Structure 1
Amino acid sequence: MSDRTTLKRGQLGTTALVFMIIAASAPLTVLAGGAPTNLAVSGLLGLPLSYLVLGVVLILFAIGYSAMSSRIHNAGAFYAYISQGLGPRQGIAAALLALVTYNMLQASLYGLFGFSLSAAIATWTSVQLPWWLVGAVGWLLVALLGVRNVDFSAKILGVLVALEFLVVAIVMGIALTHAPEGVSVVSLRYGDFMSSGVGVLLAFSIAAFMGFESGAIYSEETKDPKRTVARATYIAVAIIALFYGLSTWALTMGVGPSAIIDEARTYGPDLVFVWLAEFSPLLSDVAHLLFVTSIFAALVAFHNASARYFFALGRSRVLPQVLGRTGGNGSPVAGSVAQSTVGLGVVILFALTGINSSLGELYPVITLFTWFSTAAAFGLVFLMAVTSVAVLVWFRGNHHGFGVFTRVIAPALATIALISVAVLILINFDLMIGEESPRAMVFIMPGIIIGSGVLGALWSLRFDRHTDIHTIPDDEPPVEAEATGADSASASATLTAP
């Protein structure tokens, strides 16, 4: 296999990968943007508990997922695992679904980034810039970072994530020391969680974890593929769940349990900044700036994930082979350019369609961000559920040294829980996209996700069963391994283009 189809090895250790995963989940964006929206729509104080419950579910998923990632290393994680467990045709269907999902998620963030930075600039300078112009600047920066080595992106994301944690820690400190109704376990009680709105609560909350599974996408570029991905995934999920749970509980105490739902409905994503401004306008401005950089960090993280899916599918010849080429620095340059092209096309499309929209400045948030990110949340949850099934099937043929809890119990429980959450998202899709959105979007956006999987299944019919999906087996050193057939010792599920 040519070096031009090989990602650069040994770039990421556990710490760097943890930062990459957390950056994709965007902690400050979730606290400042997602939490108030969730509280406003669900009307439940049990938001912190929902993060902890979903954290347990995702740990269960990560047990089987990480075990499989320690044996199969491929930049197209869902693609490789589902191919190995359920078959290469199912893998191709999942691959196109994953590719569409990650690209929709990444592109959606340009709407939120453009709106948020434009609003911040207008607040600080009174200069009103169109969201698409600001979004285009963000696009250019992301595109440039995307063709660099992943370790460079990891360093930048590490700094941004550290600053996010620092600001949220300060917010928590202020909230708990200035709690108008005192500090209590309200919002952590079972009754505040299990109520009639729990479906909406969980459907919104799962979106906060999007990106936690992305560690496996970098398995080919880690220093120790057998251990780094699993270790980083466990650490990231635990940190994210605890961090979201504690920070939203602290915010509830700071605003007041009796007032926070009404305040969230009044101010929406501005709630945190309005509340902070009462104590320190400067801190509010700093938090607002880091809110924007948090979105940017997520943009970079999901760009990298999408680029590696393009790369994995190009290398396997499922998509044009040129996408499976790397640059001289070992990064998936062709895949990165493809993702940048998709992102630019989406920004241009929504810039043109929003010119005469009655939604005004909120247009990119209500349309591009909300529609695409909600559909992507459904896509990722569905993919994780299918992957859990693939894990069960894959381990049935060979235990690979793992116990029954890892092979059967954890992935089975994860499958049931993830299917339940996917159904909840579909049931509450109209609430999640908001009343301002056309009702047709309730069917169109999930339809795009499901349709991409159907298209992938149809696309797989043009292949025979002999094309390498390009995995690195656990009993070989971290170099490229290419299978010669469906029964190859490398365990690569194979299809061949005619």
Structure 2
Amino acid sequence: MFNTNAAGGDTKVTSALAANRLGVPAVTYFAISMCTPFTVLAGVTTTGYAVTGQIGIPIGFLAMGVALAVFCVGYVTMAPYVPNAGAFNAYVAKGLGRPLGVAASWVALVSYNAMQIGVYGALGDAAQPLLRAWFGIDIAWWVISLVGWAIVAVLGTQHIDLNGKVLAVLMIAECLVILVYAVSFLLHPAEGTVSLETLAPRHLFEPGVGALFCLAVLGFVGFETAVVFSEEAKVPGRTVPVATYLSLGLTTLLYVLGSWAMSVATGPGRITEQAGAHGSELVFRLAGDQLGVLMVGIGRFLYVTSVLACLIAFHNAAARYAFAMGRERLLPSFFGQTSSRNSSPRGGSILQSVLGFIAIICFGIAGLHPLRDVFFIWTSAGALGILLLIVLTSFAVVRFFATTLTPESTWKRAVAPVLAAASTLVAFMLVLVNFDVTLGVPPNSTLHWAIPGGYFLLLFAGLLWGFRLRSRAPRVYANIGLGAKSVTRTGLGLGTPDEQADTTRFDRIDHY
């Protein structure tokens, strides 16, 4: 299938990612930009209110933020042991075995690409009203998405720190406008008083609560990618944990505040009705009534740039997953190559650009609705895959610390990882049962089970491929999950595959 070099030939890559390029702020910008707060507020939250009929979205965001904070304890504690651009698959390979690591890498690649493809729909939907309001022109959403695609494709081949600087400007601006909008909404409550109804914990125990968790996961997708940039971080042992907690904390604050404030402005009893009637326009209608035309214009512009920032961040993350797989020969070696000019993951970036272009053209020809049919369904599918990876990673962290001698505290290596594994598994099961509500389709819809079923089939196929590599290509198999060390150790003869496969010894990359 792929060039696995069954004879056990050379497994070196052409080049490597640029080291020591990203500090805490840059990695945090990438993570928050992938979460894309304004897009979640204007697109995901309003569509979620309308499609699911649930008013407890703010408390859902808060509950998921707490669960993911517990997950992060073990996740970032294990990070120095697996500095790898393919974060999830490296964790799973080191904690649960290489065959499952192969399966996780396939799920990760599909999930992040599904997220990126879906966000192209959001870009077209966000830009259409802006172009009408500012220039009086009406352009098909997929044409707008192609313009965004070209910008993302060019930036994806540039220095990683250039992408970080672009994201910094866009992310700071969108966070500020969310805060301005939220404060205004809270100062203009629909019912005369600020209601806490949508923050009531009882909504977490209502029928269809799995839809809340899926929406919350969809909003938080990206916080985990700080680890993806560990090979390019200046001080990985400090940069990755700090950036992860910062991005998770800030996005939780923005999501809870923004979604709650919106329900206060419409009234908790009318939020689902208003969201269904106006969709992503609801935020701007409320802002227009309270803040005037200027702030609406600024908000519309930053909504567009928010989606664009999200696309840039997802492109970079997905490209690095493809790079990690190519480097370890789970994809053809071309994808494990980097640009000699700026060390960007050239092959992975090209793959994302090609897939994005094909998807946009096909969606345009099919006449799909950019928000409902492209953004919401594709990103929900991607979020389900990423939640599955979070569950696998949680159990990988538990097993890793149970079988590896480390100096970490009991809380970091045992208590928090076990709590995270249990809570993420429960969340995944709830999402799975209520996935039809999340998608807004009947329970007997093909999509309800086809998407989860596709992921489980992908896991099974990946497992089979991993076992095949173990018997047919032992040197390739031994490198799975090792990241850059798969190059330095095997490529330079600094260890046998059996030595590299030993995961029970203390093997930490500190860089503090």
TM-score of the aligned structures, taking structure 2 as reference length: 0.89
Counterpart residue number, 2:145 = 135
Following superposition, the deviation at residue 336 of structure 1 comes to 0.6
Aligned AA for 1:429? F
**Equivalent residue, structure 2, for 1:358:** none
Structure 2 CA distance for aligned equivalents of residues 48 and 185 of structure 1: 10
* 1:375-418 deviation digits (Å, cap 9, x = unpaired): 11110011010011111111112242112221122122111221
Residue 214 of structure 2 aligns to which amino acid in structure 1? A
- The aligned residue for residue 460 of structure 2 is 454
Moved more, 483-492 or 42-51: 483-492
Structure 2: distance between partners of 1:191 and 1:146: 44
Distance 1:348 1:379 in 2: 24
Alignment partner for residue 416 of structure 2, among 382, 407, 410? 410
Tell me by how many angstroms 1:483 deviates.
5.0
What secondary structure does 1:29 align onto? Answer: helix
Contact in 1 for aligned 2:403/2:504 (Cα 8 Å):
no
| 2:66 equivalent to 1:62 | no
Per-residue CA deviation, residues 306-354 of structure 1 (Å, 9 max, x unaligned), is 1001100111111111111111211111111111111112112222222
Equivalent position to 1:380, from 380, 386, 393: 386
Whether the 8 Å contact between 1:323 and 1:334 is mirrored in structure 2 is yes
* Higher alpha-carbon deviation: 140-149 or 179-188: 179-188
Cα distance in structure 2, aligned partners of 1:201 and 1:20:
25
Tell me the secondary structure at the aligned position of residue 196 of structure 1.
coil
Give CA deviations for 1:362-386 in whole Å, capped at 9, x if unaligned: 6232222222111111100110100
Spell out, residue by residue over 1:224-269, the C-alpha distance to the aligned partner (whole angstroms, 9 max, x if none).
1112111111111111112211222222222333432321222122
Question: Does structure 1 residue 350 correspond to structure 2 residue 360?
Answer: no
In the other structure, the counterpart of 2:35 is 25
Instruction: Select 1:79's aligned residue among 61, 67, 89.
Output: 89
Return the alpha-carbon distance in structure 2 between the equivalents of residues 80 and 237 of structure 1: 21
Structure-to-structure mapping, 1:243-262, within 5 angstroms: 243-262=254-273
Paired with 1:99 and 1:218, the residues of 2 have a C-alpha distance of: 16
The answer for the alignment partner of 1:315 in structure 2 is: 327
Change (3 A) 1:484 1:114: farther
Instruction: Measure, in 2, the Cα distance between the counterparts of 1:395 and 1:481.
Output: 28
Residue by residue over 1:186-238, the C-alpha shift from the partner in whole angstroms, topping out at 9 and shown as x without a partner, is 32222344333423222222211011111111000000111211111111111
> Structure 2 unaligned runs (5+)?
1-10, 506-512
Q: Aligned in 2, Cα 1:443/1:259: closer, same or farther, shift over 3 Å? A: closer
| Counterpart-to-counterpart distance in 1, 2:387 and 2:57 | 19
Give the whole-Å Cα distance in 2 for the aligned partners of 1:36 and 1:193.
Answer: 19
Aligned-pair CA distance for 1:486: 2.9
Note closer, same or farther for the CA distance 1:46–1:299 as it changes in structure 2 (3 Å cut). Answer: same
Task: Say which of 379, 400, 404 aligns to 2:406.
Answer: 400
In structure 1, give the amino acid aligned to 2:401.
F
C-alpha separation in 2, matches of 1:197 and 1:9: 45
Alpha carbons of 1:240 and 1:438: their partners in 2 closer, same or farther (altered >3 Å)?
Answer: same
Task: State the shift of 1:30 in Å.
Answer: 0.9
C-alpha contact 2:52 2:440 (8 A) present in aligned 1 = no
Counterpart AA for 1:261: T
Question: Secondary structure of the residue that 2:85 maps to in structure 1?
Answer: coil
The answer (yes or no) to whether the contact 2:92–2:396 under 8 Å persists in 1 is yes
The within-5 A match list for 1:289-308 is 289-308=301-320
CA shift in 2, pair 1:459/1:2, >3 Å: closer
1:472 shift after superposition? 5.6
Contact 1:486-1:492 at 8 Å conserved across structures: no
Asked if the contact 2:326–2:334 (Cα under 8 Å) also holds between the matched residues in 1, the reply is yes
Partner of 1:160: 170
The runs of at least 4 aligned residues of structure 1 exceeding 6 Å deviation read 479-482
1:335 aligns with 2:348: yes
Q: Is the 8 A contact 2:327 2:483 kept in 1?
A: no
Whether 2:475 is the aligned partner of 1:466: answer yes
Note closer, same or farther for the CA distance 1:140–1:483 as it changes in structure 2 (3 Å cut).
Answer: farther
CA distance in 1, matches of 2:140, 2:195: 43
Matched, 1:122 2:111: no
Answer yes or no: is the 8 Å Cα contact 2:210–2:432 preserved in 1.
no
The residue number in structure 1 matching 2:5 is none
SS at match of 2:407: coil
Same amino acid, percent of matched pairs: 35
Q: For 1:228, which of 239, 255, 264 is the aligned residue?
A: 239
The worse-fitting range, judged by mean Cα deviation, of 418-427 and 93-102 is 418-427
d(CA) in 2 for partners of 1:195 and 1:454?
33
Is 1:47 matched with 2:57? yes
Aligned length, in residue pairs: 483
Q: Tell me, what secondary structure is at the counterpart of 1:75?
A: coil
Alpha-carbon offset, residue 489 of structure 1: 8.2
Change (3 A) 1:481 1:426: farther
Q: Which moved more, 1:451-460 or 1:323-332?
A: 451-460
Q: Show structure 1 runs of 5+ residues with no match.
A: 355-361, 494-498
Deviation at residue 480 of structure 1 after TM alignment: 9.9
The residue that corresponds to 2:508 in the other structure is none
Matched, 1:390 2:403: no
Aligned partner of 1:221: which letter? E
Q: Distance in 1 between matches of 2:494 and 2:33?
A: 32
Question: What is the CA–CA distance in structure 2 between the aligned matches of 1:220 and 1:13, rounded to whole Å?
Answer: 12
Letter in 1 for 2:30: M
Q: Structure 2 matches for 1:276-287, cutoff 5 A?
A: 276-279=287-290, 280-287=292-299
| Matched residue type, 2:228 | I
CA distance in 1 between counterparts of 2:323 and 2:335 reads 5
Q: How far apart are 1:440 and its partner, in Å? A: 1.8
Worse-matched range after superposition: 275-284 or 304-313? 275-284
Label 1:192 to 1:419 Cα distance change in 2 as closer, same or farther (>3 A): closer
Aligned to 2:25: 15
Q: Following the alignment from structure 1 to structure 2, what is the Cα–Cα distance between the partners of residues 412 and 392?
A: 6
Amino acid at match of 2:386: L
Q: How far is 1:439 from its partner?
A: 2.1
Aligned-residue CA RMSD in angstroms? Answer: 2.5
Question: In structure 1, how many angstroms separate the alpha carbons of the residues matched to 2:381 and 2:316?
Answer: 20
Q: 1:98 to 1:209 in 2, by over 3 A?
A: same
Instruction: Say whether 1:190 aligns with 2:201.
Output: yes
How far, CA to CA, are the matches of 2:327 and 2:133 in structure 1? 47
Counterpart-to-counterpart distance in 2, 1:369 and 1:462: 36
Following superposition, the deviation at residue 185 of structure 1 comes to: 3.0
Please state if 1:95 is matched with 2:101. Answer: no
